[in-house]
Amino acid sequence: MNKPVTPPKPHVLVEAQPFIPYVREEDISPKLKPVLDPYKKRMGFLPNALKLYAYRPEIAETLWKLNSNIMRDPSSTLDQLLKRKLAAIACATNGCAYCTAHSCSMLKKPRGDDFEGWGLSEDELQDLITGDVEPKNEFERICFDYVRAASEDPTSVPDEILQRLKKNLTPAQIVELACVVGFWKFYNTVHDSLHIPVESQLLHDTGYVDL
């Protein structure tokens, strides 16, 4: 008589531990609260990276304000959803699983009042990351092309791309676009080099980037 087959246990994704301890939320400098609280509300939780930046409040405050100024300031010349998509492309191109998971999770979240979400489907995200997405217009297409090229090698952005930028974007938009690339290159470098663990609830979103 054959023994009954026991179904395999579902694979449980376990969050890794950081190589240095996080700053406990109750120990984070009060001076960071005006910047930290909106960040936490937007994400829906306190990201691991912020619990490490908290060791250097002066740097953290500057970085988090820079993040907001580049990605969502009222003065922005580029659409916020477009910049969210560009951030995901940049992070995936840079190979940063931590930031790619965060970007993709935010793009997939439903739109809501309590957190930032954009309601993209799984298929839309896959096409965005792989480069199979069909841009809605030439403006979006050149932004995608520039971010991929500048993230891969900023010293070798083809002149053809720069000329298309000049044709389709204003100077202010071009500078803002370049700052999106530069900001995420910085974040990706810090987070990757410190091996910051992806939060348990986001581990499934690391599949958007090759590790």
Closest CA to 33 of 55, 3, 54: 54
The arithmetic mean of pLDDT across residues 149-153, rounded, is: 98
Q: State what percent of residues in the chain have pLDDT above 90.
A: 78
Contacts of the segment 151-155: beta carbons below 8 A, 24+ positions apart:
151/89, 151/90, 151/93, 151/94, 151/181, 151/184, 151/185, 152/93, 154/181, 154/185
Does residue 61 register a pLDDT over 90?
yes
pTM equals 0.88
Higher-confidence position of 113 and 91: 91
Structural domain spans, the chain: 79-208
In the chain, the amino acid numbered 178 is A
Average pLDDT along the chain: 90
pLDDT digits (tens, 9 = 90+) for 163-211: 999 999 999 999 999 999 999 999 999 999 999 999 988 877 666 665 4
Instruction: For residue 90, give every residue at least 6 positions away whose Cβ sits within 8 Å of its Cβ, in sequence order, or none.
Output: 147, 151, 180, 181, 184, 185, 188
131-146 tens-digit pLDDT? 999 999 999 999 999 9
Decide: 177 and 146 in contact? Cβ < 8 Å: yes
Q: What is the CATH number of domain 79-208?
A: 1.20.1290.10
